Structure 1
Amino acid sequence: MRRFILLSTALAGFALPAAADEIAVLGWGGAYTVSQVEAYHKPFTAKTGTTVVSVDTDNPATPIKAQVESGNVTTDVASVEYADAVRLCDEGLLEQIDPAMLAPAPDGSPATDDFLPGSIADCFVATDVFSTVMAYDKSKFAEGAAPAKLADFFDLEKFPGKRGMRKSAKVNLEMALLADGVPAAEVYDLLGTPEGIDRAFKKLDTIKDQIVWWEAGAQPPQLLADGEVAMTIAYNGRIFNAAISENKPFEIVWDGQVYEFEGWVIPKGAPNLEKAKEFVTFSTGSEPLANAAEWISYGPPRKSSAPLVGMYQDGKTEMGPHLPTSPENMSNALASDYEFWVDRDTELNERFNAWLAS
């Protein structure tokens, strides 16, 4: 049996060149990588004998672009956000993925009928539905006086203290408008106008001097644990893991969640292309996707996976209520518009960076 290797690195996320009997998989680290290791990597190694070398980085899209453009591709498969997958695909930096290669559902129906709408693209196959949410430490608030809606994140008078936010325009602008009372269905139409952009930044201005910026997904739970922030924007899976696995008194506010797909891409020129495709096919099967949701609270993108999701690894926590896709968590939820961000990412991040520096 070949062994599984987990390699965490503070470097740019570049893997060592994979040998013929192994593949290099680039991921985000933390609880997210653990879920993939347990649900995908280890079972794939057990089935095929192929070693999986897992490398962590803050955002796999960045080193993938650098590797392909430099002609030094050392990664076979990478986990990226939907908008990044579309952008990289449009730039010719990714291999095409034929949906016909994906495993059918248990009842024999084709994968294209089983995956949720929008979860398969030319160069991308979703592995999960994750959400960016607001979270806080319950121990820091009196009973009945805790934040309960996204607007509370921007209310420094009622809820004083530092706020944690990802250092990026994406999601922050959407949440600013949601908190300012814009209906979810109208957010992107408004954000596509100069007036909407101004309104979002004006809302962010109200808490700017209280924001602690983070860049890696593991940081928000640590900011809460250290008491550096009163509440933070975070990935729901990270907060779930801290609360359930580490017994932290953290609570998620689902109001105003921004959810999106994340999944696999294969860099153009992947050194082990056929094995990379084999891994993508295996890991996006109904059962592996359901198993991943038992390790981290991200919803599986296949309909057939939902009834297969059981208990969390602690053996006592039902995962259903903790998934972004659960109906009770979808009130005032916003689906991230990847087309919007493919078109506007550069422009809005330039505006965001100028706002940071001002």
Structure 2
Amino acid sequence: MKHLLKSAGVAAVGVAALGFAGAASADTLTVVSWGGAYTKSQIEAYHKPWMAKTGDTINSEDYNGGLAEIRAQVEAGNVTWDLVDVELSDAVRGCDEGILEVLDAADLPKGDDGTAAADDFIQGAVNECAVATIVWSTVYAYDKTKFKEGPKTIADFFDTKKFPGKRGMRKVPKANLEFALMADGVPANQVYEVLATPKGVERAFKKLDTIKNETIWWEAGAQPPQLLADGEVVMTTAYNGRLFNAIANEKKPFEIVWDGQVWDLDLWVIPRGAPNKDRAWEFIKFSTDTQRLADQAKWISYGPVRRSSFPKVQPDMQPHMPTAPNNFKNPLQNDFEFWADYGDELNERFNAWLAS
């Protein structure tokens, strides 16, 4: 998902090992996330403070999302991951499948302002098996050096006559089908109603057909900014935090187009049978408190899911959040129930379409 530092986990482990070699009660947690700038933000905001507080070691691993690896570990009775960062549709489906631990939401800490957790977290951020950390978006960006006047709308992404050049898209149907329908004129608030019909699915794939031959497909979140930087594409869909990192920290000449952004949540889950289940739950409570969520926003432009955290986000970072007023004019919230219900079917259809 979404979110460059393959060695970040190793570095974190080293800090813990040096600082707490003699801690008798220390645990080792294996925390799995998406890598890159996103995992770096978690290491800085969550892992390092947790290790300093507890003496634990955190083994940070990367993956490309989905439930396949969690499911395989649970079914084999050989769970090696303690904590995994997942998208909302996967959290819901994994809970339904029984491959995730049930969490006691009543045990989550209050906000720093005294607000009960149930009222402090935004709607949908806490469910039976998961606790959210961030609001993030799939958007698209273009290389400003390639156009005198760049694209402004989601429809422009599909307009290869006005904006010629290769596109980059994630190699999954999620967000791509939504982008296609919005580009084809479907209002954001009607996208899932249309996509739930056979005609709507056909319409989305027909729109994708128009750029299929001009598209390079990416899988890991670090790829789209690299594709842009290398000139392999002139515009690409990507996770907004990855683009922010490329623009703000690497000084790349990229421009984000927020029109039609598909926003989502990322959440912590514990695979059923995790070796350090109780410790992982303590880490979740720590990493989703008011201060930790605000601290993460120092490192990446993903919005915190606690209301009490927003006032603590640095002012210079606030305009880069998906939910900033100027960015949130035509957003679409990913419908996790839709993807939990139709994900397998549409993944199969998408893979067959790619192969055709």
TM-score, normalising length from structure 2?
0.92
Whole-angstrom distance in 2 between the partners of 1:33 and 1:139: 29
1:113-144 residue CA offsets vs partner (Å, 9 max, x unmatched): 000001111001001001000101112211xx
Q: 2:188 pairs with 184, 189, 213, which one? A: 184
Partner Cα distance (2:222, 2:320) in 1: 19
CA deviations 1:261-320 (Å, max 9, x no partner) are: 001001101101111011000000011001111101001011000000016xxxxxx111
1:299 to 300, 303, 327: 303
Give, as a single letter, the amino acid of the residue that structure 1 aligns with 2:205. F
Specify the code of the residue in structure 2 equivalent to 1:253. V
* Residues in 2 aligned to 1:320 and 1:180: alpha-carbon distance in whole angstroms: 31
Q: Is the 8 A contact 1:5 1:53 kept in 2?
A: no
Distance change >3 Å, CA 138–CA 320, structure 1 → 2:
same
The one-letter code sitting in structure 2 at the alignment partner of 1:78 is V
Q: Cα gap change, 1:5/1:138 in structure 2, threshold over 3 Å: closer, same or farther?
A: closer
Aligned length: 337
Task: Identify which of 60, 63, 86 aligns with 2:69.
Answer: 63
The equivalent position to 1:218 in structure 2, one of 211, 215, 222, is 222
Q: CA deviation at 1:61?
A: 3.1
Counterpart residue number, 1:348: 346
Matched residue SS, 1:328 = coil
Deviation for aligned residue 1:107: 2.1
1:262 aligns with 2:260: no
* Equivalent position of 2:9 in the other structure: 6
Report the Cα distance in structure 2 between the residues aligned to 1:204 and 1:224, rounded to whole angstroms.
Answer: 20
Deviation at 1:7, TM superposition (A): 4.0
What corresponds to 2:114 in structure 1? 108
- Among 231, 237, 246, the alignment partner of 1:233 is 237
CA distance in 2, matches of 1:299, 1:79: 15
Determine if the alignment matches structure 1 residue 117 to structure 2 residue 123: yes
CA distances 1:9-40 after superposition (whole Å, capped 9, x unpaired):
xxxxxxxxxx9611110110000000000000
Amino acid at match of 2:193: D
AA in 1 matched with 2:251: N
CA distance in 1, matches of 2:173, 2:26: 40
Q: Deviations over 1:302-355 (max 9, x none)?
A: 1000000016xxxxxx11110001121111100000000000001111111111
Q: Which runs of 5+ in 2 are unaligned?
A: 1-6, 12-24
Structure 2 equivalent of residue 74 of structure 1: 80
Note the 1:246-285 alignment, pairs <5 A: 246-285=250-289
Identity of aligned residues (%): 61
2:174 to 170, 175, 179: 170
2:100 to 80, 94, 102: 94
Q: Distance in 2 between matches of 1:52 and 1:100?
A: 26
Q: CA RMSD in A?
A: 1.4
Q: TM-score, normalised by structure 1?
A: 0.92
Deviation for aligned residue 1:5: 7.3
Q: Aligned ranges for residues 11-160 of structure 1 at < 5 Å? A: 21-59=27-65, 61-142=67-148, 145-160=149-164
State the distance in 2 between where 1:44 and 1:103 align. 16
The answer as to whether partners of 2:66 and 2:90 remain within 8 angstroms in 1 is no
Which is further off, 79-88 or 61-70? 61-70
DSSP 3-state at the match of 1:127:
strand
1-structure distance, mates of 2:194, 2:10: 43
